[in-house]
Structure 1
Amino acid sequence: ALLEMKTQESASKMIEYYGQHPATIRGRTIIIQYSNHPELKTEQPNAAADNAVSSANGLVTAYEQEEPPPVLRVIVENLIAPVTIEVLHKIFSRFGTVQKIVIFSKNNTFQALIQMGSSTEALTAKLILNDQNIYNGCCTLRIDFSKLNNLNVKFNNDKSRDFTVARAPGDYPFAYFDPNMTPHLGVYGDVQRVKVMYNKKDNALIQFADATQAQQAMQNLNNVKLLGKPMKITFSKHSQVAMPKEGSESGLTKIFSNSPLHRFKKPNSKNFHNIYPPSEVLHLSNIPLEVPEERVREIFDEHGFRLVAIKFFLKEKKMALAQMESIEESVEALIKLHNFQLSANHHLRVSFSKSVIQQPQQQQQHQQ
């Protein structure tokens, strides 16, 4: 086909862009180069071509008036084959730099948020990939712009990934300890300081308020899986985590002594009597009365967690039990959702529970 642009500069930009980011149509790579014709002469009207030109110019005009965000919202319909972060990264990388990806389930549909390196790259990916199938006959992509300008990825796992974060070689993708992953440790004690080892970033020193709290964390969390790997926890020879010297790698040490997440500040707090090992069931509290069960379910969905069951307390509507698919999922959910803001004055409180949620089938068997 011959394509005439408005200016030679536009034609040059198009050739340069697709030289670096080859496009494909129906499985074939498109070759774009200069023609010998200075202009196109059409002897008869072509409705299809006119409509295509009009649509393309409309998109360009809209883009020039209001630059779209670099974050795309992707829905995968007819999900038969597995779709992972790695699959999406490979597909969208053809159109630019993929910076971050978050995948989750909402309303029983697979969804993803994908942040590209620029608005132009996001627009290009949307125009070319929308309504296309990942695999033959299934996994259809429905792509639109998200309202977000930036994705906040706290953890790198199979549900979220920040590709802009440098990683230690080997042991991909979890070859480091993220100090922000300490809320699950805070269930057993108030974390004061965390220091990631400089030469081995999947190791860390964690200082609690006292030795009893450290003992509780070790007893309950040793060998528990986190992001696919069992945690190995032992006592350190150090009595406290030393602060880094000035000019050294200070980013590897974090102070949590004034953290609002501490649960054991008050003497004789009821939290001392509600310490349980990790389980599939989480105890949720501090839920505002105006937040319905459906919203709580949505929050779990948005963060990539599937609730097996949820049960609100009859007498105390601010509390509920939430059952996850596994202990590993439960640990990750606690890390991500503890202190999640539910309203202006309410943050979700999450801890492990010793209770179980009886499914309807179990209740019927129990009654029989």
Structure 2
Amino acid sequence: MDALGGGLKRLAEDQIPGVSDAKKTKLSDNSQPSRVLHVRSLPAATTEFEVAALAAPFGRVTNIMLLRQRNQALMELEDEAIAATCCNYYNYTPAMIRGQTVQLQHSRHTELLLSPSNNATGGAAQATPGTDGPNVLHILIDNMIYPVTLDVLHTIFSKYGTVLRIITFTKNGQFQALVELSDSHSASTAKLALDGQNIYDRCCTMRIDSSKLATLTVNSNTDRQRDYTKPDVSDNVTTVRPVLLGGGSAATAASIAGLPGMPAGMTALQNLMAGNGALGAMSGANMAGLGGMSTASPVLLVSNLNDETVSPQDLFILFGVYGDVQRVKILFNKKDTALIQFATGQQSQTAQRHLHRVTFQTKVMHVTTSKHNSVAMPNEDQDATLTKDFTDSPLHRYKQSGSHNLQNIYPPSPSLHLSNIPASITQDELERLFLLISPSLVTFKWITNQRSEEPAKVDRRMALVQLPSTELAIQALVMLHNHKFEEKRYLRVSFAKNATVQ
């Protein structure tokens, strides 16, 4: 019966109208995943954009075809890695549209070529937004009962791409905002997914249009405007770092938590979560963390790893830059995927924000929140080398409450910050370490702490080094962090504040 059911599913997909037989390639059951996903069990009247929203956080959707009579759809993504990550994620977390669970699986077609006959057969072809449109969105907030801060807006829109700048203002008595994203695809996807959605339950409705502005100009960072590409430009606020997904910031907590009339247990973006889609599926826990109202899962699902070189220790060192990693588990049947457990949900979301789509060991990682709250250790009959417990590791960077390291968390860049360097170590010795990894160094610079007017007293326990690329810097950090110089003296490596060493 199962075989018959599987055959009927394949037959139904093979007979989808509008897909060119000359151009499509059928995949055998044992072939590699396709970049075309088959979506089933859709609610009636589901739109193309609701289907596209499922995959939007993972990457670009290039084509969509709705099969309304069958309550199904075909969705083509930019490449197979993105499709595999999307499909793999929804194997762990149910995909939902309008409160109804839908199923995703790889299609037997490698590409989706649509013909004009689709419109006559009930299918609707819809390409995703192009790449030549505006990057700036204009947002009006209707029925504004609770405050909408820069951090709230940044958290919402950063799920669809990199937010560069935000300006908020009040005009004609209505709160408005301009949000600039890094590319037009991200802006268009955010507009389609968020227009008409409520930030809070039954209030703070977003009305979103494309702005005619090509870019935004922020002269100084304040509580009304912020340039996230230049976090140190004339700061007029306590902190101008982007909000950490799932953790919120002090400003967000102050503006949301404990507001008069705020219903008990109110969750930010509750309506978005109820409608699910991509934002709900991936970020229900993340967004609920605004203002400390709830906690995101401490476990991340990391896919598209280099299964030939990656190890639990590598992932522990890299992800440990952003939080105290407790356990790492590389999946036995899918060694390009791992589960990483942090001490807190806030730490996991910090790591997700900084490491999603970062190239590590020649592969672009995809980092999402797991539905699991912990990582189990293997049974005696399982491969113990793929799962490591780091709970008691001395390499945790944030085990002390109020650690100074919390003030120095930066995204991956070509520049590294070195500390805990013994006085006996010379510049040549340090450079030789890095030249084992990189064919050359761009810049080396000591960070001197002049405690005395005598040159001999210059303290050189820290340095900055710039490598030719971010990927090489990541490799150097993984290989050289905790490098032993002498007894009880180990090198500490982290990403530097600035991408270039001046």
**Looking at CA atoms only, which structure, 1 or 2, has the larger radius of gyration?**
1
Point out which structure has higher relative CO (alpha carbons under 8 A, 6+ apart).
Answer: 1
